[in-house]
Amino acid sequence: MNLGDDLYREIILDNYKSTRNRRALESPAFRQEGVNPSCGDDIELYLKSDGEQITDASFEGVGCSICIASANMLCNAIKGMEVTQAEELVERVKGMLTRNETPEFPDGAEDLEAIQGVAKYPVRIKCALLSWNTLHQLLDEVRSQARSGD
């Protein structure tokens, strides 16, 4: 193990223990459940938006450290983003974990590099991607509501 692994492990643990984003958002909010039966991860992701801008994000549920840490990083990263920026971030995370791409994350999302090591463990990739796949579904809803509101 090298220093990078230690640092990444610490970042994952910090995000796992953080409770700042672990809450339900009052309506009107978008919500979507994400389940990963192979591990037992079961989360509920909440978003609030103003048009196509994400104004708040949070989650509830149970999951392993990778799943919860990844969901917490997601919430921190996407607050204030436009739907298109959040979609791009989803693609970068997927690229890092499933296509071995070198990640380039925007300011405020650098913690995500810490889950890169998960790519070596196929079983855990689903844990890390659960919240991102759930977000992907919610972004479609945010966008269609923003368009119908025009």
38 contact partners, CB below 8 Å, separation of at least 6? 123, 126
Type of residue numbered 74: L
Cβ closer to Zn ion: 35 or 64? 64
Binding site for Zn ion (CB under 5 A): 39, 41, 64, 67, 127
Cβ closer to Zn ion: 57 or 66? 66
Instruction: Report the nearest approach of Zn ion to the CB of residue 128 (Å).
Output: 8
CA distances from 87 to 20, 27, 42, 90, 108 (A): 23, 23, 22, 5, 16
CA-derived radius of gyration, the chain = 15
Return the exposure string of 67-76: e unless at least 16 CB atoms fall within 10 Å of the residue's CB, then b.
bbbbbbbbbb
Instruction: Report the nearest approach of Zn ion to the CB of residue 88 (Å).
Output: 25
Tokens linked to 67: 């799943």
Instruction: Report the nearest approach of Zn ion to the CB of residue 44 (Å).
Output: 15
Instruction: Report the nearest approach of Zn ion to the CB of residue 53 (Å).
Output: 30
Cβ closer to Zn ion: 41 or 52? 41
Type of residue numbered 39: C
Cβ closer to Zn ion: 1 or 123? 123
